[in-house]
């Protein structure tokens, strides 16, 4: 398997519940390494631009309100098959459908307040990483 990078956000419900360490611990136990990280309070414009693919969905306004409601931890994760591995560790979008032991099963409150974001493809990862990080803010871990 190839080493790759993916993009992750620990969302406001999880930062407010003090689950940052618990979530990063799941990544590290599964051989993903943090290559970049910054804590941020997103503006409405930044959150809207990030989720632009969902702009016509009925939940778009609610999603942007939630993502700007508190601090988020923005991260680049690196490891073997990182995009797919991160999505597996996250679990299904709706925590009611997420497998036991997944981040969303453990730490999501609802389908909207679902603890984490993770890129859904290598192409999304590239766009999302460059949306938040400069090249010189990312350190290779492998």
Active site residues per annotation:
117
User: Which residue number, 44 or 127, has a Cβ lying nearer to Mg ion?
Assistant: 127
- The reply on whether position 76 binds ligand ADP by CB under 6 A is no
Give 7's contacts (C-beta < 8 A, 6+ positions apart).
74, 75, 76, 77, 117, 118, 119, 124, 125, 128, 129, 132
Q: Copy the structure tokens of residue 135.
A: 């090249």
- The reply on whether position 70 binds ligand ADP by CB under 6 A is no
Alpha helices (runs of H) in 3-93, residue ranges in sequence order: 12-16, 20-29, 44-50, 60-67, 82-90
User: Which residue number, 52 or 139, has a Cβ lying nearer to Mg ion?
Assistant: 52
Question: To the nearest whole angstrom, how small is the minimum distance from the Cβ of residue 9 to ligand ADP?
Answer: 9
User: Which residue number, 37 or 111, has a Cβ lying nearer to ligand ADP?
Assistant: 111
Among 93, 121, 123, 130, binds ligand ADP (CB under 6 A): 93
What residues form DSSP beta bridges with 118?
Answer: 8
Q: Copy the structure tokens of residue 98.
A: 């997420």
What is the footprint of Mg ion within residues 110-129 (CB under 5 A)?
120
Binding residues for ligand ADP, rule: CB under 6 A, are 54, 59, 62-63, 93, 111-112, 114, 117, 120
């Amino acid at each position: 398997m190839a080493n790759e990078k993916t993009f992750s956000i620990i969302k406001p419900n999880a930062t407010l519940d003090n689950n940052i360490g618990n979530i990063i611990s799941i990544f590290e136990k599964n051989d993903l390494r943090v290559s970049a990280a910054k804590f941020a309070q997103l503006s409405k414009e930044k959150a809207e631009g990030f989720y632009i693919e969902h702009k016509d969905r009925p939940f778009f306004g609610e999603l942007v309100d939630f993502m700007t409601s508190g601090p988020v931890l923005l991260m680049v994760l690196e490891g073997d098959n990182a995009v797919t591995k991160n999505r597996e560790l996250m679990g299904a979008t709706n925590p009611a459908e997420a497998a036991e032991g997944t981040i969303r099963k453990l730490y999501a409150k609802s389908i909207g307040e679902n603890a984490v974001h993770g890129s859904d493809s290598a192409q999304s990862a590239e766009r999302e990483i460059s949306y938040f990080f400069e090249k010189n803010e990312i350190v290779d871990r492998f």
